[in-house]
Structure 1
């Protein structure tokens, strides 16, 4: 009897733990951008490599227009595409007329910068790195000033066309192109 109660208690605790883990994973997944769904944009530095075809390998920084001029294919609209989407576009463009079975790889060499302003020692633009939080971004900007409020932090997502200002915390994950503002404390 005691054994049966312990097993039921363990099962219930396990179910609750699994549910909390799933909710946490979903919430974190909504805040971060994985490499698979990351959309290329202005300021990203990319490398397009075609195996055994040095003439078709290129490194470029995406301009505001989001266009690149690729050998044999001309102007390609890259902004808004994922890395795998750009790979497919280049493969489809080269296949047949130029190459039988092109092996294309696209990688992000450098993400577009994020910006932090307000009550930090050195406001400005900084290179983005995956896993970057607002707390780490403040450290890159040499920390908060004496007047900074760690509870009045706002973020504008770089991929938000409405440029909506949202409240954020020190552990909020950043994305390339984000703008963080640290406001003053009144005390």
Structure 2
């Protein structure tokens, strides 16, 4: 069994687990947006009245951890652009080491992993201001998000694990995987996502997205993108049919 096959099998085993109250009397998921921690039948009954709350939760969930926001935590192998106003010799791109540090002139080794760019700015300004530069104005941007990765599987030409570089959408990651294998691919793509120990999934119609009739969803770190194909295993085909027809992440139990 290859690493890719093993990953696919694990993903399908997780997703094939009980959907709990998400399954209706006909054996499929209720065909509407569902965002519930318990995913009980009662939650479905109240879905219409809670539609605003559900929409806000979905918006928050899909945007909160998107790379590039102010809360992003730097990790090993990320590349940072560091600039110090009016001190060009200190302006450069540096890569975070495997132990989570960057090495810069004058200040030497500085811890970076686990910190936001703003926190690194403050640390550098403090070190430079203590001995070398009067009131330094330091700016730090994350140039490459190499510590964060996304998996692309299924009917694409080059399945694999790819680094997150800035803000990327679903179609951009499919392009990074060298596009859809048109000989086997269907128009359905499923995105698996984890949050606080829970796993969610949403399906999207890639043809509708490429035609501009549907939004191109943002992809975040650790997402697993699976392009459905005519050769998909039965358990995955069941999951695709069971997920709501709309592009909403639903809780898998």
TM tier, smaller: 0.5 to 0.7
Asked if 1:94 corresponds to 2:125, the answer is no
TM-score for both structures, normalised by structure 2: 0.52
Find runs of 4+ consecutive structure 1 residues off by over 6 angstroms. none
Q: Number of matched residues?
A: 163
Query: 1:116-153 CA deviation, whole Å, 9 max, x = no partner?
Result: 33212211344535542334422432125626693654
Give a deviation string over 1:159-182, Cα, whole Å, max 9, x none. x8x7x7643444653224x25252
Per-residue deviation at 1:67?
0.9
Select 1:114's aligned residue among 149, 169, 181.
Answer: 149
* Corresponding position: 1:81 with 2:118: no
5 Å-filtered alignment, 1:35-184, equals: 35-112=69-146, 114-119=149-154, 120-126=156-162, 128-141=164-177, 142-143=179-180, 146=184, 150=188, 152-155=190-193, 166-170=200-204, 173-176=218-221, 178-182=222-226, 184=232
**2:116 and 2:200 mapped to 1: Cα distance?**
25
TM-score (norm 1): 0.68
Report the Cα offset of residue 71 of structure 1.
1.9
- Check whether the contact 1:134–1:169 (CA below 8 A) recurs between aligned residues: no
Give the distance between the partners of 2:203 and 2:120, measured in 1 at CA. Answer: 34
Secondary structure of 1:96's counterpart equals helix
Q: Distance in 1 between matches of 2:119 and 2:126?
A: 11
Match of 1:30 among 61, 73, 77: 61
d(CA) in 2 for partners of 1:41, 1:87: 15
Higher RCO, 1 vs 2 (CA within 8 Å, ≥6 residues apart): 2
CA contact 2:77–2:97 (8 Å) conserved in 1: yes
- Contact preservation (8 Å) 1:37, 1:82: yes
CA positional deviation for 1:50: 0.6
> What 5-or-longer segments of structure 1 have no aligned partner?
1-18
State the match for 1:13 in structure 2: none
Task: Give the CA RMSD over aligned residues.
Answer: 3.3
